[in-house]
Amino acid sequence: MNKKRIVCYGDSNTWGYCAATGCRYDDDARWTYHLQQLLGDDYRVVEEGLSGRTTVFDDPLFPALNGLAHLPAIALSHAPMDLLVVMLGTNDCKERFSVNGQNIADGLRRLVQEAKKMDIWRDTPRVLIVAPMIIAPGVYHVPRIGQEMGAQCVEKSRQLPSLMKETARETRSWYLDCNPYVQPGEADWMHFDAESNLTFAQAMAEMVRRIFDVQEQMENTWN
């Protein structure tokens, strides 16, 4: 049976980073696992998260974090793909990149446009843009993390939901804001707390079903 393949392309909140421990949430605690369980056997959820990943920016301190540069190899390895979920932008808020919210949204637009042109789709290209969690002001008081993220990271992250919603409209993509469904852990104020993994997965499952239900209705109309 060919399952609907969903590739979740993100950063540390997709990788499953737990700020309270400095390690990774257990396999069966991450939102990608919960999403798989909620969707069932007709779907295959692929977890492609990497801590520090950006939309399109090269990080001068760490290699291999440019989301656009590494998307082709990752996407081709999971083809044929039915849905690409992109949740990026948090790391772009770092002071060292010297970009604003609109720059981040423009980077996301470029990544999505490139993905839609690739020969990776089973049939129709489908992209779900997820606005990442807004960084809480407490991050500025966390040793090292606050300095690494730098000035204005919170303010930039607050701009992303509305900007990314517009990016989804411009690229004819689906859109979901994760913020109504998640809370930051108090260890660093920028990563999902444990409970958010399930609540976010529930919202994601509802959205994924909606995406494929709409597609099925369209196909029935064409036939």
Answer yes or no: is pLDDT of 216 > 90: no
Per-residue pLDDT, 1: 74
Tokens at 153, concatenated? 């990271």
At 136-149, the pLDDT tens digits run 999 999 999 999 99
Q: Model pTM greater than 0.85?
A: yes
Answer yes or no: is pLDDT of 217 > 80: no
Distance of CA 17 to the CA centre of its chain: 13
Mean pLDDT across 65-79: 98
Answer yes or no: is pLDDT of 223 > 50: no
The amino acid present at 53, given as its one-letter code, is: R
At 152-192, the pLDDT tens digits run 999 999 999 999 999 999 999 999 999 999 999 999 999 99
Percentage of the chain beyond pLDDT 90 is 95
Domain 4-222 of CATH type 1.10.1040.10: no
Environment class of 117 (CB within 10 Å of its CB; exposed 0-12, middle 13-18, buried 19+): exposed
Where are the domains positioned within the chain? 4-222
At 113-138, the pLDDT tens digits run 999 999 999 999 999 999 999 999 99
